[in-house]
Amino acid sequence: MTTNADERKVLEAVPTGLFIGGTWRPAENGATTPVEDPATGAVLTEVADASPADGMDALAAAHAAQPGIAALPPRQRSEILYRAYQLLHERADDLALLMTLEMGKPLAEAKGEVVYASEFLRWFAEEAVRIEGGYQVAPNGLTRFLTIRQPVGVCVFVTPWNFPLAMGTRKIAPAVAAGCASLIKPAPQTPLTMLAFAQVLADAGLPDGALNVINATDAGAVIEPIIRDGRARKISFTGSTPVGKKLLEQAADKVLRTSLELGGNASFIVLDDADVDAAVEGAMVAKMRNMGEACTAANRFYVQRGVVEEFTSKLAERMGALKVGRGTEDGVHVGPLIDAKSRDKVTDLVADAVANGASVALGGTAHDGPGYFYPPTVLTDVPANSRLNHEEIFGPVAPITVVDSESAALDAANATEFGLVNYVYTRDLNRALRIAENLESGMIGLNTGLVSNPAAPFGGVKESGLGREGGRIGIDEFLETKYVAIGYSG
């Protein structure tokens, strides 16, 4: 368990201004906004609240820095990222505590996120020196083709509150590797982790202006002018589908390159030949990681009739054994949800399902007292028309629906406008491949509840987004391809 002194020390060390052009400064109008501890409702600290003018200053700083970072040799960009990777590990304890204080996740999970986030830095440090072009002879032999990969230019990043470090490094690392300057707007609920990370990159030697951080509560007023200005050439957003659609419309004005990682409605399919114990283990990861506050969280459980009783019983037992509390306390597995609005939404979704005929096998009632806690909950016989089957839960609720066949499970899983990830448990290889090929999502967890990996391409189809982050193709989102035709006379 951490002490009050530990928490004060970490909070006092975090810069709370805007980071523009390599300098920490207040908002131009002096505005600040509070950062809340979701476990208690208490205010942790105040941070600068950017105005549209601050946003344009950040854009100007990134634009001024763009030629310099693009001209840095790939090895130098690689070494900056690798030094940042090392610094994250050196400061892991403080960063994890900071993340737990502002976001609520248990300290052990926060430390896991620091490691996960750092791997994007290491991965793209390695990719920075592997950006390749090409040379070929034209089919008619009269010209030669030279292909060059160049940075796309200034990037605008908007990140969510649920993974305040990893969602930043997943965007910033490939941008730096490709030679792109950027500005980032973290979520107003969790700005502290990104502010601390900006200092990490500065300490690692990133040139001034190559990363700018602007916390803003009025995101639309700050970000839209930046998008429509024309100096930025790419936007990458992780968050809700409605906001992503609005940003996509705005990006069309200047034809910005766009990467969107949007909402999810992941199904978790357990077929009658599955290893039920393994499926329960996978469900605990896919559902309970980050208190269920993840776009990859299992949202709908479709379990074949022959194993539904065993699966439900074992899942409820495992989820019921989890300790709920403030993430800084020893032995806590489930922290609070991010705010009152999120807790109220989860409460309403569960109430709607029960009103429509679902049964409560575990939990189902919000905790009294301070903080935004909601207990691990398992529902059975969840009807198809319940809101739980159509809306992203973002909480520790597992709604189970019985299916009678593989085809019924597949049809139910695909009956959504989202397509980020699905999970499938079966021991039949042919069945696994058949379902994986027919599920409409960008990622599949086959006999595993965890798909996120910096070395793999992360992203969805349908209304779950555009583009991919991570993996070998992750850097492609930050590179333009230039073709040079060379006359050849032999």
Annotated catalytic residues are 261, 295
Q: What b-and-e string marks burial along 306-318, b requiring 16 or more CB atoms within 10 Å of the CB?
A: ebbeebbebbbeb
Q: What DSSP string runs through 467-480?
A: S-BSSTTGGGGGEE
Contact at 8 Å (CB) between 138 and 478? no
SS3 118: helix
Residue 15 burial class via C-beta count within 10 angstroms: exposed 0-12, middle 13-18, buried 19 and up? middle
Give CA separation, 338 vs 14, 101, 217, in Å.
20, 11, 16
Helical spans, DSSP H, in 331-396 = 340-355
- State both tokens at 238: 């992780």
Q: Could you give the strand order of the β-sheet that contains 298-304, starting from the edge strand earlier in sequence?
A: 359-362, 377-380, 397-403, 298-304, 266-270, 421-425, 443-446
Contact at 8 Å (CB) between 307 and 276? yes
Cβ atoms within 10 A of the Cβ of 3, count? Answer: 9
The pair phi, psi for residue 361, each rounded to 5°, is: -95, -20
Position 248, amino acid:
L
Q: Which of 104, 381, 68, 336 is nearest to 206 (CA)?
A: 68
Output the CA torsion sign for 155, 159, 164, 170: negative
Q: What is the largest CA-CA distance in the chain?
A: 83
Question: Which DSSP symbol is given to 458?
Answer: B
